[in-house]
Amino acid sequence: MSTANRLVSAFFTVMPGMFLFIVFLSSGWLDRDYWRATYTAVLLVLSMTSLVFGFALPVVFQRSRMSRPWQWILLQGFLAWILSLAVLWLLNLTPWCIGQNNGDGNNDLGMCTFMTVMSGVVYTPIYLGLLATSAAVGHGVLSLMSPEATT
């Protein structure tokens, strides 16, 4: 697989995460909140792992049963999303969440775990929808670039 194809795969894998990151940065409601550092870190992990997975894994997937580019992009993005949720959970086990005053009392382990689960419940369908769209477009672009990539 050519480097150009791997770069295109990485681009379409990272696009959903970058979209969420741009939306997050443009929202002003988290300007002075302790959640900002946590979600910034998680979205950076999502973007960086999407880039790495999008560049490194297509070679592996092309040799396996996942021979279609849309399959690679979906799986690469999904793996990055799972890793990002794990990072969110780990960060919410630190003093960035536990012990913070949220306006009606201090956060405890239960509240921080609940916020991690709810973030996953709310944002997973949005991310997967963006990822599916990106995978479809990426498949088309990779098909045009090299027809052998889709066989």
Of the ranges 38-47, 126-135, 142-151, which one carries the lowest mean pLDDT score? Answer: 142-151
Q: How many domains does the chain have?
A: 1
pLDDT at res. 103: 72
Q: What tens digit of pLDDT does each residue of 67-112 get? A: 788 888 899 999 999 999 999 999 989 887 888 776 777 888 888 8
By C-alpha distance, which of 21, 59, 67 is closest to 40?
21
- Between CA 91 and CA 68 the distance in angstroms is 35
pLDDT at res. 101: 75
Query: Which amino acid is it at 19?
Result: F
State the residue range of the domain holding 116: 3-150
Query: Does residue 114 have a pLDDT over 80?
Result: yes
- Between CA 27 and CA 75 the distance in angstroms is 29
Q: Which residues contact 101 (CB under 8 A, 6 or more apart)?
A: 107
By C-alpha distance, which of 131, 146, 1 is closest to 70?
131
By C-alpha distance, which of 88, 61, 42 is closest to 142?
61
